[in-house]
């Protein structure tokens, strides 16, 4: 892969040579053309006399390197994305001038042209180590520094960075040809920003372009007034204007919640939130200026799940201002100190400080299901993961680091008590302010406030991989009371650790007056070792359902006692509490994935529960689980019948749903993913939605839903490429170009799949989001005959992709192009052959491939379990 990797050993070695205070002066010129920009960086730092080290830089050309007044030959010192620094003095100054390249992959300095108006937008994305794509840098988190940024850009643009603008200067020069689209020419301006506090390079940021702007301010708890701003593309201005005040309000609630919870007011000079195009992640916690993917600007109807996810994301990134920014991990093995805390606390803030009060049900259905899936792969890892190099870091932005880590933090709060937990967090933040910290530093503070031995707890929960299962066994007296309730904890053989759990047990019964299942009693206890007897419930009347891990306090797989299992399977749709429903539903899904619960029965109980479910994320994930089960888990000779049945039921539920409701919208969208060529009724329904001859009360066929219908028609060959192009011509936007490419790749023809496979891999003109749309369209058509020819070709392409693409693009291709609808056994066989012949391949690459292989292995196993 292009760009030098950095090992943990090299980072430690460099940190042993380079020391602070470190200071950067970075000057960027964005007016020199449409392909490259100029980067001029001066760095001062201390070092051991006579030692050597290196700077990181990915550049097309280095024109000057000056070290302590001596000009060095760039041809001699610049190679493999590094600049050698030899014979260092005790204090040093190095200046590097370079020509760097804009990206279209969302890495480094991304440049995007909005086709709707020709405007150019730029933003940086530097996590993990991509500051080096913009300026020369010691690009590792523990070499914190002060940064002074200046930027030359077209005078009509807005330019923002981590700090407020210190000065602006009009320049007597024009932008070069090609710097602006459509032949525009204008004068330039220099923006100079205030010096940053001490910070890590991956958290620095620049955004530039004619963004639309909104402003507000917050009365900070330390007496300061914090300027706030929000930005988006001009073409999204009207849509975003409807939500800006709401998002400012959410952010202000987050400021207040975090300051009160941690006892540390917001520490930085300003807080901008900028919604940018073609973004790889959900958002990024750049100090003082958070970048978000602008699909969070809603110009079409979205699910309530997406609306809530936006709130959680806003609060997640705000939480990072403390966890990750104010205190930063020393090396990437403690990435969880950033992400797990932000995920946990943003969910807590969403539930307690906003109107999304069922946020923990959302977390259970969405985030926790992500963790359960990844924690049962051979590629799972401890929350505190071993990180040997940067590639290891990339693949650890996953369900373990985010979702399992957040689940375990929720368990830790239950284990030590909320007040003591946050008291320890306060001490941790105060002690390591503006510095770097490790797991050990955190445990010292939490042990001091809680009085618990957390080293043993950490060794089992944070430093070992895998998930436990807790099964309930009930013995009942003749009079219907409980003689014994025993919890049996087990662990998989490859991760044989039994963990301590603080959990709750809920009793649930039918409330006849309401016709709902409600909680009638609750018991909280510690679970240790293999067997735990629950003494509190002995002699009590046995309820209809016993929920182990009520309120979802711990992280574990669940197995219900036999009576509770049958009751829940028949009555899931009647549970009144959103979190309890989510926990139970996720447990049935887990049993289905393990081949322990009949696949078709899971589909039926889920379809029935959808008729009464109103928690949007639970609804969304249930639809996804039904789809996976229907296509991949039911017996092979039942797939066609089950898929048709599910499609019919979804359409029926959609027609019965409340007009204009979130459920109606999700059901129609899900139904449109069940098309099969030759299904005349499906084609008629989809075409009717498009032309208006089929109407559901309250359902608006807006831009995005229209493209969902177009893709559905393309997937059954009821819409050709010319018709797709004509649809795009009606409204040519950044997002609609992605939709059009996805629709074209979804067509159920050999030619369409050949085109998509080739374009995704070899067309470097595609943006990151366009490539992703093509990949997903390629793999989405559920026909094994179309997928089969690509099983071998996929594995033949793996090495080339890894060698020639940046990490993010390689990961997207290797996951998106996996032909999941090919014969699963064949995919497993070919995958094992690749893994066996690539034992020395990069660990990150092997993890991606192995994850795909094990997905297919599970399909084989579960289908076999469902075959009579």
Q: What is the pLDDT of residues 527-567, one digit of tens each?
A: 999 999 999 999 999 999 999 999 999 999 999 999 999 99
Question: Mean per-residue pLDDT for 675-703?
Answer: 95
**Given this model, what pLDDT does residue 181 score?**
75
Would you please indicate which residues are annotated as catalytic (active-site) residues? 317
End-to-end Cα distance, the chain: 47
Residue-wise pLDDT tens digits, 151-179 = 999 999 999 999 999 999 999 888 887 78
**Residue 812 gets which letter from DSSP?**
H
162 closest CA partner among 283, 325, 324, 328: 325
Q: What percent of the chain has pLDDT over 90?
A: 94
pLDDT of residue 15 exceeding 80: yes
List, by residue range, all CATH 1.10.390.10 domains of the chain.
Answer: 211-322, 328-461
* Beta pairing partners, 501: 527
Is the predicted pLDDT of residue 182 greater than 80, yes or no? no
The residue-averaged pLDDT of 814-823 equals: 96
Q: What is d(CA 147, CA 136) in angstroms, rounded to the nearest whole number?
A: 12
CB-CB contact of 173 with 152 (8 Å): no
- Per 3-state DSSP, the chain is made up of helix, strand and coil in percentages (nearest 5) of 45, 25, 30
Q: Mind giving me the DSSP string for 649-664?
A: HHHHHHHHSPTT-HHH
Please give the DSSP secondary-structure letter assigned to residue 200.
-
Alpha carbon dihedral 387, 393, 395, 401, in 10-degree steps, equals 80
Q: How confident is the model at residue 643 (pLDDT cuts 50, 70, 90)?
A: very high
CA distance 447 to 263: 18
User: How much is the pLDDT for 2?
Assistant: 39
| pTM flag (> 0.95) | yes
Q: What is the pLDDT of residues 237-260, one digit of tens each?
A: 999 999 999 999 999 999 999 999
Dihedral in degrees, nearest 10, Cα atoms 450, 454, 457, 461: 100
Task: Give the integer Cα–Cα distance in Å for 530 and 472.
Answer: 12
CA–CA distance, 753 with 785 (Å, rounded to integer): 11
How do residues 737-785 score in pLDDT, each as one tens digit?
Answer: 999 999 999 999 999 999 999 999 999 999 999 999 999 999 998 999 9
Output the pLDDT for position 4. Answer: 66
Query: Long-range contacts: 274-277, Cβ < 8 Å, 24+?
Result: 274/123, 274/160, 274/207, 274/211, 274/230, 274/231, 274/232, 275/230, 275/231, 275/232, 275/233, 275/236, 275/240, 276/110, 276/112, 276/121, 276/123, 276/207, 277/112, 277/114, 277/121, 277/233, 277/734, 277/769
Helix (H, G, I), strand (E, B) or coil at 585: helix
The residue-averaged pLDDT of 706-712 equals 98
Q: How far apart are CA 133 and CA 549, in angstroms?
A: 47
**Mean pLDDT (whole number) for 641-652:** 97
Question: Could you give the residue ranges of the DSSP H alpha helices within 657-700?
Answer: 662-671, 680-691
Give residue-wise pLDDT tens across range 657-673: 999 999 999 999 999 99
- Mean pLDDT within 207-231: 98
pLDDT at 177: 76
pLDDT at site 393 = 87
Tell me the C-alpha distance between 25 and 40, whole Å. Answer: 8
Q: What is the predicted pLDDT for the residue at 183?
A: 62
Q: How far is CA 549 from the centre of its chain?
A: 26
Instruction: Write the CATH number of the domain with boundaries 211-322.
Output: 1.10.390.10
Strands 146-154 and 225-232, sheet pairing = unpaired
pLDDT (0 to 100) of residue 172: 87
The answer to whether 359 and 350 have CB atoms below 8 angstroms apart is yes
pLDDT band at 397 (very low <50, low <70, confident <90, very high): confident
Query: In sequence order, what are the residues at sequence separation of 6 or more whose Cβ sits closer than 8 angstroms to the Cβ of residue 538?
Result: 482, 483, 484, 485
Predicted confidence at residue 1, as pLDDT, reads 37
Q: State percent of the chain over pLDDT 70.
A: 99
Write the CATH number of the domain with boundaries 328-461: 1.10.390.10
Pick the CATH number of 1-206 from 3.20.20.60, 2.60.40.1730, 3.40.800.20, 1.20.58.1000: 2.60.40.1730
Q: Which residues make Cβ contacts (< 8 Å) with residue 736, sequence separation at least 6?
A: 703, 707, 728
Q: In which residue ranges of the chain is CATH 2.60.40.1730 found?
A: 1-206
**More reliable by pLDDT, 184 or 798:** 798
Q: What is the pLDDT of residues 113-150, one digit of tens each?
A: 999 999 999 999 999 989 999 999 999 999 999 999 99
Using an 8 Å Cβ cutoff, are 301 and 409 in contact?
no
Contacts 24+ apart (CB under 8 A), 519-522: 519/550, 519/577, 519/580, 522/550, 522/551
pLDDT at 60 (0 to 100): 97
What is the arithmetic mean of pLDDT over 567-584?
98
Token digits for 647? Answer: 């499609």
Helix or strand holding residue 837 (H, E): helix 824-837
At residue 394, the pLDDT reads 82
Find the mean pLDDT for residues 401-421. Answer: 95
Mean pLDDT score, 71-97: 97
Helical ranges in 136-290 per DSSP H: 237-241, 244-262
Q: What is the pLDDT of residue 823?
A: 96
Distance CA 367, CA 803 (A): 32
């Amino acid at each position: 892969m292009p760009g030098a990797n950095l090992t943990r050993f090299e980072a430690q070695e460099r940190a042993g040579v380079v020391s602070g205070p470190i200071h950067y002066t970075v000057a960027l010129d964005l007016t020199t053309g449409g392909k490259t920009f100029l980067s001029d960086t001066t760095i001062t730092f201390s070092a051991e006399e006579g030692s050597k080290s290196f700077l990181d830089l990915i550049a097309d050309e280095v024109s000057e390197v000056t070290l302590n007044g001596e000009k060095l030959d760039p041809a001699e010192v610049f190679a493999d994305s590094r600049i050698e620094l030899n014979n260092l003095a005790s204090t040093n100054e190095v200046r590097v001038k370079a020509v760097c390249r804009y990206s279209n992959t969302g890495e480094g300095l991304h440049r995007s042209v909005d086709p709707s108006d020709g405007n150019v937008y730029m933003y940086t994305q530097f996590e993990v180590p991509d500051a080096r794509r913009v300026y020369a840098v010691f690009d590792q988190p523990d070499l914190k520094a002060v940064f002074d940024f200046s930027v030359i850009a077209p005078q009509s643009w807005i330019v923002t960075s981590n700090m407020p603008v210190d000065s602006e200067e009009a320049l007597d020069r024009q932008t070069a040809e090609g710097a602006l689209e459509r032949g525009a020419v204008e004068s330039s301006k220099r923006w100079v920003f205030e010096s940053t506090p001490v910070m890590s390079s991956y958290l620095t940021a620049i955004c530039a372009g004619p963004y639309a702007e909104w402003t507000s301010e917050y009365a900070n708890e330390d007496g300061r007034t914090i300027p706030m701003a929000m930005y988006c593309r001009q073409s999204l201005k009207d849509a975003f204007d409807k939500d800006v005040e709401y998002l400012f309000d959410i952010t202000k609630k987050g400021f207040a919640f975090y300051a009160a919870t941690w006892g540390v007011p917001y520490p930085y000079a300003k807080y901008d939130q900028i919604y940018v195009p073609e973004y790889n992640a959900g958002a990024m916690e750049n100090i003082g200026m958070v970048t978000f993917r602008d699909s969070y600007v809603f110009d079409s109807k979205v699910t309530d799940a997406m609306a809530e996810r936006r709130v959680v994301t806003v609060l997640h990134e705000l939480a990072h201002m403390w966890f990750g920014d104010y205190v930063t991990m020393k090396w990437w093995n403690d990435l969880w100190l950033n992400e797990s805390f932000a995920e946990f606390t943003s969910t807590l803030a969403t539930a307690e400080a906003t109107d999304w009060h069922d946020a923990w049900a959302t977390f259970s259905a969405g985030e926790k299901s992500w963790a359960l899936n990844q924690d049962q792969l051979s590629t799972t890892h401890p929350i505190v993961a071993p990180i040997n190099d940067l590639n290891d870091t990339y693949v650890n932005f996953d369900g373990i680091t985010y979702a399992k880590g957040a689940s375990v933090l929720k368990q830790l709060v239950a284990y030590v008590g909320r007040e003591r937990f946050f008291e320890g967090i306060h001490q941790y933040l105060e002690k390591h302010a503006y510095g770097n910290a490790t797991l050990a530093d955190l445990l010292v503070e939490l042990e001091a406030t809680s009085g618990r031995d957390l080293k043993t707890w950490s060794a089992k929960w944070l430093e070992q991989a895998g998930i436990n299962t807790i099964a309930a066994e009930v013995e009942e007296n003749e009079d219907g009371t409980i003689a014994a309730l025993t919890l049996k904890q087990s662990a998989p053989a490859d991760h044989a650790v039994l963990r301590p759990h603080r959990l709750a047990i809920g009793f649930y019964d039918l409330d006849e007056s309401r016709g709902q299942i409600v909680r009638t009693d609750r018991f909280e206890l510690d679970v240790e070792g293999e067997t735990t007897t629950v003494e509190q419930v002995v002699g009590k009347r046995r309820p209809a359902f016993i929920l182990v891990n009520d309120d979802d306090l711990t992280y574990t797989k669940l197995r219900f006692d036999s009576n509770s299992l049958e009751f829940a399977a028949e009555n899931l749709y009647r549970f009144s509490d959103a979190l309890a429903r989510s926990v139970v539903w996720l447990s049935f899904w887990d049993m289905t994935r393990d081949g322990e619960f009949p696949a078709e029965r899971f589909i039926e109980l889920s379809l029935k529960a959808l008729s009464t479910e109103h928690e949007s994320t639970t609804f969304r994930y249930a639809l996804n689980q039904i789809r996976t089960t229907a296509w991949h888990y039911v017996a092979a000779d039942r797939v066609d019948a089950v898929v048709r049945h599910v499609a019919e039921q979804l359409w029926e539920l959609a027609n019965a749903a409340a007009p204009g409701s979130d459920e109606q919208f999700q059901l129609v969208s899900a139904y449109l993913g069940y098309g099969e060529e030759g299904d005349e009724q499906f084609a008629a329904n989809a075409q009717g939605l498009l032309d208006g001859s089929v109407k559901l009360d309250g359902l608006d066929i807006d831009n995005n839903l229209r493209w969902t219908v177009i893709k559905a028609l393309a997937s059954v060959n009821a819409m050709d490429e010319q018709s797709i192009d004509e649809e795009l011509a009606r409204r040519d936007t950044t997002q609609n170009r992605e939709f059009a490419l996805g629709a074209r790749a979804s067509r159920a023809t050999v030619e369409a799949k050949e085109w998509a496979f080739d374009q995704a891999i070899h067309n470097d003109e595609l943006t990151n989001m366009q490539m992703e749309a093509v990949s997903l369209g390629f793999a989405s058509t559920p026909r094994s005959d179309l997928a089969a020819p690509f099983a071998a070709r996929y594995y033949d392409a793996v090495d080339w992709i890894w060698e020639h693409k940046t990490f993010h693009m390689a990961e997207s291709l290797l996951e998106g192009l996996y032909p999941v609808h090919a014969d699963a056994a064949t995919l497993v066989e070919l995958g094992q052959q690749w893994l066996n012949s690539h034992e020395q391949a990069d660990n990150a690459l092997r993890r991606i491939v192995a994850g795909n292989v094990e997905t297919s292995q599970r399909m084989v196993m579960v289908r076999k379990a469902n075959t009579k």
